[in-house]
Amino acid sequence: MTQGIKISRRTLAGATASAAFTCSLATMPDMARAAQERGDRISWQMCPRNCHDTCTLISHIRDGKIVRVTGDPSNPVTAGAPCVKGLTYPQYVYAKERVLHPLKRVGKKGEGKWKQITWQEAYAEIAGRLKSIIDNYGLETEIIAASVRNPIHVTDCALAGADIATVPYNVIVQMTKHPLTDAGIEKFQKDYKAVFGE
């Protein structure tokens, strides 16, 4: 008679992720070899565009130009599956509409009239406007910290001088559910009962 094996959803998910990660590591040399056979060179980058995952991306470069972007299968968070933003980097990098130089508006707002200026002129323009705002209104800044994923991040935010942090509920629970906290509360309750009774 066979006994049923009890596997929790968490155990199954963990085992699947571990297996996928191990398999993905095995595919890395194959990917490099395949790229070489096509005459491509591969280069690793990280995507900083508006999300928490910061995916590792692999750029396939031919004749000095990115021809394809794939996800890095060794990334434990994304396992080689970046979002559309990551996959469309070649279109983003080589788009005809991409602004490559500082531009200053010369017409009325909305007319679409611009002239190219140097980086030095752009920095001077921005710095001058910021100085004017600070001179007129003062500078009272509050730092807001985001992308908090664990209790250590909360401590880091405090040490960095953040005024506000967006802390997910599960991190707040982790901050209060530490084993030492639980042990301390249990000891306190036991001592309280010993002194004051039920």
| pLDDT of 20 over the 70 cut | no
Please tell me the least confidently modeled range out of 9-13, 62-66, 180-184: 9-13
CA 19 remoteness from chain centre: 24
Q: Which of 136, 114, 14, 103 is nearest to 128 (CA)?
A: 136
| pLDDT of 27 over the 70 cut | no
Question: What are the angstrom distances between the C-alpha of 65 and each of 16, 17, 41, 99, 179?
Answer: 36, 33, 10, 18, 53
The amino acid present at 37, given as its one-letter code, is E
pLDDT for the residue 13: 53
Share of the chain above pLDDT 90, in %: 20
CB atoms within 10 A of CB 44: 11
Q: Give 125's pLDDT tier (boundaries 50, 70, 90).
A: very high
